[in-house]
Amino acid sequence: MVPYSSTPIKAHPFTPRKRPYLDLEEEEDTDISESIAEPHDSTYNPDDTVVTEESELAQQTTNNESKYIVFESCLRELFETCPVCKTKCDVQFRRVGTYVLFIQLCPKCSYHRKWESQPVNRSTPVGNLLVSAAIYFSGASFFQFEKICKAMQLKMFHYDAFRRHARNYLEPAIIHRWNFLQTDMFKKLQEQRKVAVAGDMRADTPGHSAKFGSYTLMHLESNTILDIQLVQCNEVGGSYHMEKEGLQRCLDHLESNGLEVEYIITDRHPQIQKFLRERNVVQFYDVWHFEKGLSKKLNKLSLKKEYYIVKMWLHSIKNHIYWSATTSTCGPEKVAKYTSLLNHIQNVHTHENPVFPTCAHAGKVSRDHKKWFQPGSMPLQKVEKIMNNKRVLKDVERLSHHYQTSSLEAFHGVILRFAPKNVVFPFIGMLCRLYLAAIHYNENRDREQAVTTSGQPIYKVVFPKSKKGEATTKPLKTPPSYEYVTDLMKLVFEEVFTDPAPFVEELKQIRVPASMSSQFDRPSMEEVVGRHVSLFRQAVVESQHIVHPDVGTPTESEAQHRMG
């Protein structure tokens, strides 16, 4: 092992070599560079440097080495005086992003050296690329990180450099890693050929104004994200059609890899129902989405004063829907259990249904008639109309009895950490962040519940919005792992950075749709600025063009009076 030395070595016994050229496309702050006097030695070239043991060791550093925050004043102390003759030295300072360079020259003994704060590989400071990779792979925001750096005066490169790193190295690495992991998943599932999946779409904005829609397929047995397809609304003629297009791309991708969908669990989107029916794919409905649709209608009904009793039964109706769906595998049996609630809420126990020869509740029931729906009453008729709707009863038969899409909804929450809805991303940037979310979810899908040192499971108290302030407990899981970040870092610095061409070529295979503004002619800046008028000023201008009778054209009587 080469020991570190705090004593620099004089230049004369060694053959100088040129330092690596810095990629000055990564901005250099001119206000930080110092002007120094010309060195006394006319043969001194600041581009020449000494090959020291320390610099050779620095070239071997990797991305997993520890880093520290160092103050500039502390660095300057190391170069103020000559270590040979103790004379005050001329020091040249240069910065590119997080990279800093000090060139020290002694005017008396001509001692000189160059010191770099980080390795430079192929003209790129490694630290700059490392910061960009850490921001991107962790799903963070460059602008938020930049604010943190500015608040503490920590020097940082600009957004253009970050996008250059992402375009040339980071995004190709993410695409390659996802393709590799997905291919490995497909190979493992090809043994069983048929797979049971859950599918759902997530839009980047609510409503029908979304720009992007991502459709996700999850393998239910392993709780793994199998595929995720990103659709831009101008590809399909509007946001409404993005879900169908995303699902079609997912199914086509699975079939092209030798996988057949045994059945799929989705919400009750009519367009998706028709598409899967035409494609001969068995479809089941998620119970939560079904219950949510009914609850919205019942909640709206319960807001009326004369239907207050509906509000008292909402919780029981929700529980009954889940019970009837998850305890029955046969469609008709589900319908029978589902419709049995209407008899129960009337406190009627005829036991004529062979599915329920006895009641499941306790023998003692309330005799307060105000707590029960009265036969023939208007509230009961309204509830019966909602719950016994033909489409509702038809959908009850297709409620999924085993798997649900709750894990898929949890994955949508993970996406928010990598691609928040209030941030606009380009197509490839959005796709890469979706892949990062999928990789993160797949790595942490089976986290166990945390336990105490004595082995007792740990819970935490939460107040979910759905409970409207009611406290409930939630199992506390073990901390998530981020091994995929380490793997991506290794891929970038050991393969992509060395030869980015094949990885960039793999990224180019992705078809990127035209931008949303490509269908419009881009006007000049002067034209747009000239048309810009504030709302207040526009109202004033329009009011000046309104002709009022008392100040505008005189009426007929006034004209005659003036003529006379």
HEC profile of 148-202? HHHHCCCCCCCHHHHHHHHHHHHHHHHHHHHHHHHHHHHHHHCCCCEEEEEEEEE
What's the domain range around 79?
A: 17-121
Residue 513 domain-assigned (yes or no) = no
CA 315 to chain centroid: 33
CA dist 231 and 214 (Å) reads 6
Compute the distance between CA of residue 554 and CA of residue 550 in angstroms, rounded to an integer: 7
pLDDT tens-digit readout, 66-94: 899 999 999 999 999 999 999 999 999 89
What's the token pair of residue 182?
């997905």
More confident residue, 235 or 325: 235
More confident residue, 6 or 341: 341
What is the domain count for the chain?
Answer: 3
Does residue 389 contact residue 339 with C-beta atoms inside 8 Å? no
Closest CA to 116 of 37, 30, 40, 57: 57
Q: How confident is the model at residue 554 (pLDDT cuts 50, 70, 90)?
A: low
Residue 530 in any domain: the answer is no
What pLDDT is recorded for position 99? 93
3-state helix, strand, coil in the chain (%, to 5): 45, 15, 40
Sign of CA dihedral 59, 46, 102, 128: negative
Cβ neighbours for 349, distance < 8 A, ≥ 6 positions apart = 343, 359
- Does a structural domain hold residue 279? yes
In this structure, the answer to whether residues 82 and 106 fall within a common structural domain is yes
Q: What is the per-residue pLDDT for 255?
A: 93
Q: At 278, is the pLDDT very low, low, confident or very high (cuts 50, 70, 90)?
A: very high
Residues 306 and 390 placed together within one structural domain of the fold: yes
Say whether both 272 and 295 belong to one domain: no
CATH at residue 274: 3.30.420.10
Residue 51: pLDDT band by 50, 70, 90 thresholds? very low
Whole-number Cα distances in Å, 83 to 105, 427, 555: 11, 55, 99
495 burial via Cβ count (<10 Å: 0-12, 13-18, 19+): middle
Residue 324's pLDDT is what?
77
The two tokens of residue 10 are: 């004089």
Domain-terminating residue out of 487, 507, 540 = 487
Residue 282 and residue 182 in one domain: yes
* pLDDT mean over 328-336: 76
Examine residue 160 and state whether it is found in any structural domain, yes or no.
no
Q: Assign 142 a pLDDT band (cuts: 50, 70, 90).
A: very high
Two structure tokens written together for 532: 């810009």
Give the per-residue pLDDT at 537.
Answer: 67
Residue 90 sits at φ, ψ, to 5 deg, of: -85, 130
Q: pLDDT: is 16 or 178 the higher one? A: 178
pLDDT for the residue 519: 74
Q: Is the pLDDT of residue 12 over 80?
A: no
Binned at pLDDT 50, 70 and 90, residue 473 comes out as: confident
Assigned token pair, 68: 């520290």
271 and 298 assigned to the same domain: no
Over residues 405-425, mean pLDDT? 90
- Nearest CA among 102, 179, 164, 84 for reference residue 131: 164
Q: What is the pLDDT of residue 223?
A: 92
pLDDT at residue 331 in the model: 75
**Residue 254: inside a domain:** yes
Residue 546 falls within a domain, yes or no? no
Residues in Cβ contact with 418 at an 8 Å cutoff, skipping those fewer than 6 apart: 139, 433, 434, 436, 437, 440
> Is pLDDT of 21 > 60?
no
Residue 62 forms part of a structural domain: yes
Q: Look at the alpha carbons of 392, 398, 401, 405 in this order and tell me if their dihedral is positive or negative.
A: negative
Domain contains 78: yes
Distance CA 198, CA 226 (A): 10
Mean per-residue pLDDT over the chain, rounded:
80
Looking at the structure, tell me whether residues 273 and 319 fall in a common domain: no
Structure tokens, 90: 């001329």
Half-sphere exposure of 508 (CA within 13 A, CB side): 7
Given a cut of 50, is residue 268 above it in pLDDT? yes
Q: Are residues 204 and 106 in the same domain?
A: no
User: Which residue has tokens 């009895």?
Assistant: 401
Strand-pair category, 260-266 with 194-203: parallel
Question: What are the CA-CA distances from residue 77 to residues 65, 98, 104, 155, 240 (Å)?
Answer: 25, 19, 12, 19, 64
277 and 302 inside one domain: no
The 10s digit of each residue's pLDDT in 170-179 is: 999 999 999 9
- Predicted model pTM: 0.79
